[in-house]
Each structure stands twice: as structure tokens, then as C-alpha cells.
Amino acid sequence: MEITFLGTGAGVPSKERNVSAIALSLLQEQKCIWMFDCGESTQQQILRTTIKPGKINTIFITHMHGDHIFGLPGLLSSRSFQGGNDRLTVYGPSGIKEYIETSLKTSGSHLTYPLSIIEITEGKIMENGQFIVYATLLDHAVPSYGFRIVEKDKPGELLVDKLLEIGIKPGPIYQQIKDNEITQLPDGQKLYRREFIGPDKKGRIVSILGDTRARDEHQSFVEQSDLLIHEATFDHTKADLAKQYFHSTTTQAASLAKAADVKQLVLTHISSRYQQEDQIDLLRQARDVFPNTKLAYDFYHIQIDSK
């Protein structure tokens, strides 16, 4: 799992930050890339990375504000010319289907690949062999969602030493033991997988919240995430302004991370009022509450290693 921040600004692009877009690379796990939001100029940002648009097969939209969706029709259209032949699925709030279909129709765009558009509500919105994705409604001026990506637990390691102790030498039999609850040997002896497999390896958890006011209710949704990505539109002195505009501050995001016992916090969606020289102070504010905090910038990469 690798996260690439393609845009980390709030509202409008600035010289230092483009508007919201995050890529979650699952190339090792599923040979694909998921995207979260797609603000204007996301295509240009992608050109400055190793991301191949044809590998993007799932897009999650947090909410319908322009700085999170204005790049979507262009990306969908261009994907037809960039090796994208497989189905692409867009998950988003009510209105996303009309927005995409109208944009493509009125611009005369024709896709060369199948497109699915799913308007979401709270709860489990997607599941495949390796991952489950949950959505929760946040507190914003329009319906805005947070996503919790849960990797399913993996089977533990084969206890080779234990097998050698009973005379079972390496070979195809080892794979049979891993794949089956009961394996019967030629002499009739039965081997039970549970006796020769170590504890399951816990899957990773990534929580990505869209624009939102700080709410205690979000704690259970992001609990024990390996990574929490949270907006921090304002610095800690502007809590009243953040509340007025349905956003969060640096310390509010950090307080949630601390209360929810997450491992790491990354702040994004930074207001254009803050310049390069302000970033040290923004990060310090959050780290005073939750030390393991990073402040995202465009093209920032973060690796989420297996446990």
C-alpha cells in the first residue's frame, strides 16, 4: 500500500498546492490504483508521477464541492486514450451520477471502457477478496463522507519446525496443509491446519475523511487506523471560523487521532492563506497533541507496510 497526495489544498489551487486528490496504490495487492477525490488539474498532477491512469479502476468521491470533483470528467475521458480498458467504478454521494453523465454527454465524450457509478449511503459500500470499504456521513455544508479501508486478515505463517518434528518434509504437502482445513496423508494420518498455522496477520486500516467539522462521533469510525488522513483547513486559532465553514483545525484533527488510537496522522486540505513559511507552525500545533503527525504536500508519498 502506498499513498500519493496529488493535491493537498483547500478550495482553490495555489502555487504550492493543487486541490484535493489522493491515490492509493494497490499494485502489489491487486494490481490497481484507487483514487479519492479528483479536483481540477488532477490529470496534470498525475503526469508528474509514475501513476498510470489505466491502472485506476476505482474512484471514491467524498462530496460534491468543486475542488473535489472538477477534474473527474476530464480524467474519465482521458483514460480512454491512456490504456484504460477495464471497468472503472465511481463511488460517491447523491448527485455524482448526474454530474458525470451530464458532463460526458454535453461534452460529447465517449468512453472506451465500461463505467459504473454507485451513489452511496453509510455502511459497507464495497468488498472484494482482500478489502472492505466502509463509509460514514461527516459534518459538512453538503453531504460529505469518510472512508475506512480495511484489509482482510491474512493466514499466519506455516509452522515448518512443527511439521519437521513429526517427519513432514518440505514439498507440495506444505501447500496442501495451508489450503485445506484437514489434510490426509497416504498412511491415513490427518493433519489439521489450525495446528500448523501461526496466528492470522492483521490487515492494515486506512481512514480518509472528506471535508468535515470536528466531531467526537468520528472516533469509532477511524479507531486504530494505521493511517488517518484528515483535513486541517485552518490553524488552531481559527476554531470559530472552522466551525462556521464546516471544516477542522490542526489540533482538532490531532485530538481525534489521539482519542482514536491511530498510528499515524497526515493532515491535508490546507487553506491557501497559509504559505510555505507557515507550515512548520501548522505541523507543530498538531504534534503538540499527537506527535506522529505529518503535513502532506503535493506529491508526498507514504508507505503503509504490512504488519
C-alpha separations of 198 from 160, 193, 292 in Å = 10, 10, 31
Q: What are phi and psi of 222, to 5 degrees?
A: -100, 5
CA–CA separation, 273 and 11 (whole Å): 11
CA–CA separation, 261 and 214 (whole Å): 16
**Owner of C-alpha cell 493537498:** 8
Q: Is 278 helix (H, G, I), strand (E, B) or coil?
A: helix
Give kind and range of the element (H or E) at residue 163.
Answer: helix 160-165
β-bridge mates for residue 92, sequence order: 119
Which of 37, 67, 226, 235 is flagged as catalytic? Answer: 67
Query: Is residue 221 within 8 Å of residue 262, measured between CB atoms?
Result: no
C-alpha cell at 155: 493466514
Residue 67 is among the residues annotated as catalytic for this protein:
yes
Q: What are phi and psi of 227, to 5 degrees?
A: -145, 130
CA–CA separation, 297 and 215 (whole Å): 25
Pairing mode, strands 2-7 and 21-26: antiparallel
Residues with Cβ within 8 Å of residue 204, at least 6 apart in sequence: 1, 151, 226, 304, 306, 307
How many whole angstroms from its chain centre is CA 132?
11
CA–CA separation, 74 and 62 (whole Å): 18
Active site residues: 67
